[in-house]
Structures are given as structure tokens and as C-alpha cells.
Amino acid sequence: MTDTLDSRGACMVSKDLVDILRCPLDPSHTTHLDQEPDGLTCQRCRLKFPIKEGIPCMLVEEAELPAGAANLQALPCQQTPVPQGVPE
């Protein structure tokens, strides 16, 4: 894996690696990650995983919660959908 620096000097992870990584909290394991200067962000729940020494740290305990989420259970991917046609 070859790391490169972007124009701001932030470490960028290879596109090939980013293409295969998925958010560990996504139950379908189909949601891609967006590369940002300070980490990889899940497109679905917006959980941000840091990049440490050029290596993405995909541990949920190390990830940064998105704005408005008080805890991991508040993330959209952790919500149980209510089946349609079932009264609440």
C-alpha cells in the first residue's frame, strides 16, 4: 500500500484500499467510505474512522461520532426499522 499526501499534507490512503473497506456497523456491509483529510467517513451513518500513520483504524471504539449522535446506538445503521403495516 502506498500512501500519498494531498495538497494540505494530509496522509491519503490508496483508492484501492478505500474501495474495499466498509463501515463495520453497516449490517449490509455495502456502504462505502468517503476519504477526508482526517479520516474515512461512512456514507450512511457519517461515523468517521481515523487514519493513523497511514493506516485506517476501523475500530468502532476509535471512531468519531457525527454531529447530533450522542452514542453508537443513535446512528441510523443501528436503528431497527418498523415494519410497514404494523401499528406502533
Three-state DSSP class for residue 39: strand
Whether residue 40 is contained in a domain is answered as yes
Whether residue 26 is contained in a domain is answered as yes
CATH number of the structural domain spanning residue 62: 2.20.25
pLDDT mean over 53-59: 93
Which residue in the block uniquely carries the three cell numbers 453497516?
26
Structure confidence by residue, pLDDT tens digits, 44-55:
999 999 999 889
pLDDT of residue 1: 42
Whether residue 74 is contained in a domain is answered as no
pLDDT of residue 7: 47
**What total of structural domains would you count in the chain?**
1
Residue 63 domain boundaries: 4-69
Does 2 score more than 50 pLDDT?
no
How many C-alpha atoms does 38 have within 13 Å on its Cβ side?
A: 4
- Cα dist from 2 to 22, 57, 66, 82, whole Å: 19, 16, 28, 44
Bridge partners, 64 (sequence order): 48
To the question of pTM greater than 0.95 for the whole model, the response is no
